[in-house]
Amino acid sequence: MKKVGIAILGLGTVGGGTYQILTSKKQYFAKYHNLDVSVESVLEINEARLKQLGVDPAIVTKNIAEVVSNPNVDIVVELIGGIEAAKSFIITALKHGKTVVTANKELIAKYWHEIEETAKANHTGFYFEASCVGGVPIIRTLTESMQANEIISIKGIINGTTNYILTKMADEGRDFEEVLKAAQKKGYAEADPTADVEGFDAAYKLSILSSLAFNVKVPLDKVYREGISKVTKEDIFLGKELGYTLKLLAIGKKTPAGSEVRVHPTFIKNEHPLASVKGSFNAVYLVGDNVGEIMLYGKGAGALPTGSAVVSDIIFAAGKADHFYVPFINSKDGEKGVRFNDDFSCEYYLRMSVIDKPGVLAKIAGAMGSNNVSLREVIQRGTAQQDGSVTLILLTHITNEKSIKAAIREIEKLTDAVVSIDAMIRVE
């Protein structure tokens, strides 16, 4: 039986869940994986947390040097989060011949190239299943189960906080700020929710997932990002009437113009499998050229779901004679000559307030037409307000991002006809 010694750096939510799984399922790993897995070292300064989890004081340290110099440690699990000191600890562990497992999506999205270069140079492994979509095994699916396919597209609900907020807004008719405060009280949202609600978290994950899906490095700065903080319950309910559900989607596509990667609020048809993903659950919808459509669904966060992904990497790495490295050029800016398409195409939903008088629609349609935007549907909502304005909903045919934005700029100049453009939401 192979002995595998583990060091855990950080016993926060995920670190605690990982420790619980490793200690409670020790006999299971021995029986079914022929591995004697033991936690040999824990780096943590929170004494209360150590006592809560029942960690043996003899294996506790506050010094990374003690961890990497421990001959009984084979795999270092980094669950501190953030950039520093996590990055330094990972590099140090790899240079000391330790394989590293992490859930740190921000670090990977920004410094994957540097970490993997160090791992290669030292013939060690670097694994990160838990960095994307919590307990959902999306990374192993992309790297180990889709070899017969070129991935055509990847679409995902990959942030549980925003999905919880949008679900509550849709089901209960509440405003964004109200639901956000409730999510913070329940622990679904951080005290500073910026990373989640402004789409940074989803962008980190999409950078990683689209790189693996398309076998080309997708630098973080190539991911278009837009959050949900400006989403209103009015648009959610108008979308419902039109047959759409609103989600924060991470979208990656292969197109003739290049790879297309974007995170933004998106209307999808109510019949689409992703539309039924509610609350804090996550899902990823893949299309392969041979297998067709696949969807993976599950809990995207939490101590035990994410901890299970961490432990799966530990078991996977322990059984590898040769470690996995990505097959593409993993440099900071990616391979030279690879094209990325920022003029993506889809349908669009626009809501605006316009003056209720003859000729207004003709002016708006003219601005759309002059920018090659074709209207599919026009809906006027309600009666005129005190200022003489009415709500106008426009749905376009498939058009380009740059075209719709140019049309919007032109419409905004129609001050004698248009009071305000209140929402623009992409439709997939």
Active centre residues (catalytic): 205
d(CA 285, CA 304): 23
| Residues 265/247, Cβ–Cβ less than 8 Å | yes
User: What token pair was written down for 315?
Assistant: 């078991």
What is the pairing mode between strands 2-9 and 35-43? Answer: parallel
Phi, psi of 147 (to 5 degrees): -60, -25
Cα-based distances in Å from 222 to 289, 340, 391:
24, 7, 35
CA dist list (Å): 55 to 92, 134, 171, 227, 308: 24, 24, 42, 40, 19
Q: HSE of 85 in the Cβ direction (CA atoms, 13 Å)?
A: 10
AA letter at 270: N
Cis peptide before 103, with omega less than 30 degrees from 0?
no
CA dihedral 60, 306, 251, 247 (to 10 degrees): -120
d(CA 157, CA 281): 8
